[in-house]
Amino acid sequence: MPAPDNLIFKSYVSDHQDDLLSLWQVCDLIRPWNNPLDDIRQCVGNPSSELLITYLDQTLCGSVMVGCDGHRGWVYYLAVAPDYRTQGIGRALMASAEQWLIDRDVPKIHAMIRHDNLLVRGFYKRLDFVDGDVQLVQKWLKREA
């Protein structure tokens, strides 16, 4: 489904912070171990990443964080407000993220999806993403007190 014609894309600025955090909260993207303000700060302070947001009828309805680690592209915080889903907004956000990477000659894009999030896994499959032959391992370098 094509996105609505009056969908407006913008780069994140701090004026959007409260609305963006509300969007991520309603989309269940915030986790206790990830401070979203730190994630925003790291993204906007780094030339190899971008935080894109989209508005429809003057309402913040979507976001995607995109970046390059020097080898591949990554997307995070893909969010579409529940009342705006199934209108092509998620596809439009991902197309914008992909174009951002293409413009920087990044050859591929990755997304991390929780294994039990079948709805999101289906979304990415419809966008021609495939399961990678990798296992994610992690180590916390900084523990919150």
The per-residue pLDDT string of the chain (145 residues; one tens digit each, 9 = 90 and over) reads 777 788 999 999 999 999 999 999 999 999 888 899 999 999 999 999 999 999 998 899 999 999 999 889 999 999 999 999 999 999 999 999 999 999 999 999 999 888 778 888 888 898 988 988 887 788 878 776 4
User: Distance (Å, rounded) from C-alpha 73 to C-alpha 71?
Assistant: 7
User: Distance (Å, rounded) from C-alpha 145 to C-alpha 138?
Assistant: 19
- DSSP 3-state of 44: helix
**Residue written as token pair 């992690």:** 138
- DSSP 3-state of 79: strand
Residue 36 token pair: 């979203």
Domain 8-126 has CATH 3.40.630.30: yes
User: Distance (Å, rounded) from C-alpha 50 to C-alpha 12?
Assistant: 8
3-state secondary structure 19-41: HHHHHHHHCCCCCCCCCHHHHHH
User: Distance (Å, rounded) from C-alpha 5 to C-alpha 15?
Assistant: 24
pLDDT for 113:
83
pLDDT for 4:
76
Q: pTM for the full model?
A: 0.88
